[in-house]
Amino acid sequence: MYKLSSTRIGIILAICLAGIFFAVPNFLGGKVNLPTWWKPVNLGLDLQGGSSLLLEVKIDDVVKERMAMIEDDVRQSLRENKIRYQNLNAGNDSVKVKIDNFNARSKAVALFKKMDADYNVVDNNGVIEISYTEQAMTNLKIKVVDQSIEIVRRRIDAAGTKEPSIQREGADRIAVQLPGEQNPEYVKALLGKTAKMSFNMVDSRTTAADARRGKLNSASRVISGENGEQLVISRKPVVTGEHLVDASAAFENGQPVVSFKFDSFGSKKFGEATSKNVGERLAIVLDNEVISAPNINGPITGGSGIISGNFTVESANELAMLLRSGALPAPLEVMEERTVGAGLGADSINAGITASIIGLICVVVFMVAAYGLFGLFTTVSVFLNLFLMLGVLSIIDATLTLPGIAGVILTIGMAVDANVLIFERMREEVKNGRSTKDAAEAGFTEAWTTIVDSNLTTLVAAFVLLYFGTGPVRGFAVTLAIGIATSMFTSVTVTRLIITGWIMKYKPTKLPI
């Protein structure tokens, strides 16, 4: 057997002690206030109880909004180049405009192609159709979903939900799991608000009555204002919420308000607009509804301001939080909602613990019956393997789910595979007449290749599940992969250390297997 150098023993013992140390919080039952770096394994939704939401990103709404923006750009370009046109309108996925004159139409096509490389411009017998290219549309969808996931994460974190799981599911859906959250209505309301904010000038030259009679400038639109009032505002905003860097609830004259601050670009634009429009009204638009439309009494050049309205303390805090988190690029629709009770989660944990104990007892009984003293040595390694698994899961801040417990139970059985191979090899070597030490050494060295091959194939399968799987499948794959790594360490290194120490101390003439 190999020499027991103090360095090698020290490393093995250090790894074992570290695993036990980081596994300890899992046995304290959450009764002790522990530092953030020394916490138990996070329990998933199916073990802790909580809520699960499946959200669909309404990408079609974003495309329609982009078409409206393209329509405005096309109208401006045609007017600047004095090209006569008819029937300019934006559809769900394209913008169409009719131009009768051939030369003017050719010029317009060239202008539209220069607008953006992502545009696909087609002339259909006098009607020019502008849409996104297939690649541009794919990139837009990916970007919108990625942005939505990030904003959802910010809002849920700001709401104080602990250990949420937020993942893309399919092309346009987001799976949100909220462990411990038994009432998801607040979160649903939070995620249901797009929170798109813009600051638009009110068109004082046009009334809502004029707009209803068709006397509406193409650069303006009608929108619902405060107390049901209809306002006519400019389509083009002075500045949007994208340039907000901070927002917080405050009080002004005893009333809750929301204070905000722009970045340098937003400050410049806001200052210019308020300087040029003193005496006019500025509409603050949130999710296509005016929440406030105050008069501009003077230039606002400091880059900050106040949003007042019929706020309560709660609504002011909520709006400030939404503005800090950022606007969703697209509306979200709840496609599926599921709530797991805390009692059901506790039952799952108890069932998992019971299954683990039964599996552990069966493995221990088999190993002791089959290999005697060496079976007891293996039992020590199996228990140590469980501690190391829990320790690693705690260190990497993993979330343990019910399929994850299944991975732990499977690992208990797999943990002794290597020892079975080693011990059977030892028996063969003893039958061949080799000495105790030589037989023990041969058991470890000759079985090593087979052990690596068997564990490596399982590890590859675990990584495939981890890469392609989602949710519960990934939880199973994580615990399985960690279990393979820790069982390799305990089954070979730790067991070898124990057997080597026993042989060196007692110098047996016969192996007890």
Residues 262 and 231 in one domain: yes
Output the domain CATH number for residue 305.
3.30.1360.200
Structure tokens at 17: 């002690």
Is 333:56 a contact under the CB 8 Å cutoff? yes
- The residues with which 248 forms a beta bridge, in sequence order, are 259
pLDDT score for 158? 76
Residue 314 lies in a domain: yes
Q: What is the mean pLDDT of the chain?
A: 87
Whether residue 1 has pLDDT greater than 60 = no
487 in the same domain as 374: yes
pLDDT band at residue 338 under the 50/70/90 scheme: confident
- Verify that 500 and 442 share a domain, yes or no: yes
pLDDT for residue 130? 94
User: Which residues on neighbouring strands pair with residue 12, listed in sequence order?
Assistant: none
For residue 265, tell me if it sits in a domain.
yes
With beta carbons less than 8 A apart as the criterion, state whether 354 and 53 touch: no
Same domain, 71 and 112: yes
pLDDT per residue as tens digits for the range 209-221 = 888 887 887 788 8
Considering the domain architecture, whether residues 356 and 444 belong to the same structural domain is answered as yes
pLDDT at 489: 92
Q: Which of 287, 310, 335 is the last residue of a domain?
A: 335
- Asked if the model's pLDDT at residue 138 lies above 60, the reply is yes
Domain that includes residue 75, residue range: 60-137
Is residue 413, in this structure, part of any structural domain at all?
A: yes
Spatial distance between the Cα atoms of 469 and 478, rounded to a whole number of angstroms: 11
One-letter-per-residue 3-state SS of 175-204: EEEEECCCCCHHHHHHHCCCCCEEEEEECC
Domains in the chain, number: 3
pLDDT of 232 above 60: yes
H or E stretch covering 71? helix 59-80
The domain that contains 84 carries what CATH number? 3.30.1240
- 327 and 221 housed in the same domain: yes
Confidence band for 3, pLDDT divided at 50, 70 and 90: low
Claim to verify: residue 228 and residue 306 sit in the same structural domain: yes
pLDDT at 342: 62
**Per residue in 476-499, pLDDT tens?**
899 999 999 999 999 889 999 999
**Tokens representing residue 387 in the block:** 């501690």
pLDDT band for 345, please (50, 70, 90 cuts). low
Q: Name the pairing type of β-strands 399-400 and 230-234.
A: unpaired
Q: Is the pLDDT of residue 162 over 70?
A: no
pLDDT at 471 over 80: no
Which domain-ending residue is among 335, 367, 392? 335
Per-residue pLDDT for 112 more than 80?
Answer: yes
What are the φ and ψ backbone dihedral angles of 178, each rounded to 5 degrees? -125, 85
pLDDT 10s digits, 30-79 = 667 788 788 888 887 777 778 888 999 999 988 998 898 899 889 889 99
Q: How far is residue 490 CA from its own chain's centroid? A: 34
Are 19 and 108 members of one domain? no
Residue scoring higher pLDDT (306 or 17): 17
DSSP 393-409: HHHTT-EE-HHHHHHHH
Render pLDDT for 270-300 as a digit per residue (tens, 0 to 9).
Answer: 999 999 999 999 988 888 888 888 888 888 8
Give DSSP secondary structure letters for 430-473. Answer: HHTT--HHHHHHHHHHHHHHHHHHHHHHHHHHHHHHHHH--THH
Distance CA 449, CA 457 (A): 12
CATH of residue 493: 1.20.1640.10
Are residues 318 and 445 part of one domain? no
Residue 178 contacts residue 164 (beta carbons within 8 Å): yes
311 and 291 in a common domain: yes
Give the dihedral sign, CA 322/328/330/332.
negative
Please give the model's pTM, rounded to 2 decimal places. 0.64
Q: Are 293 and 283 in contact (CB under 8 A)?
A: yes
Residue 161 clears pLDDT 80, i.e. is over it: no
**DSSP labels for 57-69?**
E-HHHHHHHHHHH
Sequential DSSP letters for 366-389: HHHHHHTHHHHHHHHHHHHHHHHH
**pLDDT tens for each residue of 237-281:** 999 888 888 889 999 888 898 998 998 899 999 999 999 999 999
Both 500 and 400 in one domain: the answer is yes
Q: What does the pLDDT read at residue 213?
A: 80
Classified as helix, coil or strand, 285 is strand
**Contact in structure between 64 and 51 (CB atoms under 8 Å):** no
Q: What is the rounded average pLDDT of the residues 304-325?
A: 84
Q: Are residues 382 and 477 in the same domain?
A: yes
